[in-house]
């Protein structure tokens, strides 16, 4: 699956969520009561079966999306290790360590007044490509968020909202829509120092919240080969300049035309090894 296909699926998923939320608000509780009064018992049973099938569908869809998500295939790498994670409150034994654990049976549980905050502060400006978080309504029920707002900036003083995620009985990994954020070469990245997650509401008016995992990804230059591609224009330009000015340079130095080619041949026969270069001479790598 290409990254463009991945972005398209995220957009469609959030459009369905937003459409369902708007439809529910327009319909209201009174419509449900009127509908229930005028429906025969047998038809009501069929409708209940349909509702149960609809409830099961998001879970299977989430599992399918999680199965399809492959960071390496999308040219992504996780950068949780570059950030400091902080929460507004937590119960003992259910803090940041549990949130960042790969064990989805562990979770962060807040312990305070709403809204609940998760603040992610990076060591430097990063180009975020994907943000995912894990919630499970089947296990957490009233602890499951229904309304999450995401902010980003260079610090606490200039945070700007970039995404809003409504949730209805979610199960599985949820993708935060950051496409068209304006960062990166194609405008689909989020470039910032800080990300803040604000949980405004929970299912069934629950007070505290559960988040079972969060993953943040950036582009993997080594996987995509972007570093090499970025250097190609410069290499071609240097080669063109050398070809155009080679004759004049050699003439000014009093060297024959073939001496430069002999030098290139010598480099090919005896290449310079980079294995002994110090860390200061290598390109920085996110580990």
Q: What is the mean pLDDT of residues 9-34?
A: 55
Top CATH class, 3-223 = mainly beta
Chain mean pLDDT for the chain: 77
Say what percent of the chain tops pLDDT 70.
55
Cα 83 to its chain centre, rounded Å, is 14
> Does residue 99 contact residue 85 with C-beta atoms inside 8 Å?
yes
Q: Where in the chain is the domain with CATH 2.60.120.260?
A: 3-223
Give 106's contacts (C-beta < 8 A, 6+ positions apart).
Answer: 94, 98, 99, 212
Say if residue 200's pLDDT is above 70: yes
Tally of CA atoms within 13 A in the half-sphere of 185 that contains its CB: 5
pLDDT at 80: 96
Q: What is the mean pLDDT of residues 176-184?
A: 91
Cα 239 to its chain centre, rounded Å, is 39
3-state helix, strand, coil in the chain (%, to 5): 45, 25, 25
> Does residue 183 contact residue 74 with C-beta atoms inside 8 Å?
no
Q: Which of 11-25, 40-54, 56-70, 202-216 has the highest mean pLDDT?
A: 202-216
pLDDT at 262: 74
- Name the CA dihedral angle for 117, 122, 126, 129, rounded to a multiple of 10 degrees: -40
* pLDDT per position as a tens digit, 88-101: 999 999 999 999 99
* pLDDT per position as a tens digit, 135-170: 999 999 999 999 999 999 999 999 999 999 999 999
Pairing of the two strands 213-219 and 76-78: antiparallel
pLDDT at 68: 74
pLDDT at 64: 44
Cα 43 to its chain centre, rounded Å, is 43
Gap between the Cα atoms of 128 and 94, Å rounded: 26
SS3 263: helix
Containing 201, the helix (H) or strand (E) segment is: strand 190-202
Lowest mean pLDDT among 159-173, 179-193, 263-277: 263-277
Hey, how many other C-beta atoms are within 10 angstroms of the C-beta on 161? 12
């Amino acid at each position: 699956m290409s990254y463009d296909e991945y972005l398209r699926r995220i957009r469609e998923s959030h459009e369905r969520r937003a459409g369902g939320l708007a439809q529910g608000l327009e319909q209201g509780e009174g419509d449900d009561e009127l509908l229930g009064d005028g429906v025969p018992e047998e038809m009501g049973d069929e409708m209940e079966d349909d509702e149960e099938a609809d409830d099961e569908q998001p879970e299977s869809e989430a599992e399918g999306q999680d199965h399809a998500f492959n960071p390496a295939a999308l040219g992504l790498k996780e950068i949780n290790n570059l950030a400091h994670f902080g929460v507004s409150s937590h119960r003992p034994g259910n803090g940041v360590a549990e949130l960042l654990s790969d064990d989805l049976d562990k979770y962060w549980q807040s312990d305070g007044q709403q809204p609940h905050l998760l603040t992610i502060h990076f060591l430097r400006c990063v180009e975020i490509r994907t943000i995912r978080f894990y919630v499970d309504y089947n296990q957490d029920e009233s602890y499951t968020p229904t309304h999450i707002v995401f902010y980003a900036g260079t610090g606490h003083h200039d945070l700007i909202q970039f995404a809003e995620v409504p949730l209805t009985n979610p199960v599985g990994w949820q993708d935060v829509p950051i496409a068209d954020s304006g960062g990166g070469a194609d405008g689909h990245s989020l470039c910032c120092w800080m990300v803040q997650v604000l949980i405004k509401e929970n299912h069934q008016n629950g007070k505290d919240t559960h988040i079972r995992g969060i993953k943040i990804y950036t582009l993997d230059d080594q996987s995509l080969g972007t570093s090499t591609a970025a250097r190609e224009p410069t290499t071609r330009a240097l080669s063109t300049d050398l070809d155009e000015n080679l004759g004049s340079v050699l003439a000014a130095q009093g060297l024959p035309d073939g001496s430069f080619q002999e030098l290139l041949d010598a480099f090919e026969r005896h290449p310079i090894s980079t294995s002994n270069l110090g860390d200061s001479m290598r390109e920085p790598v996110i580990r």
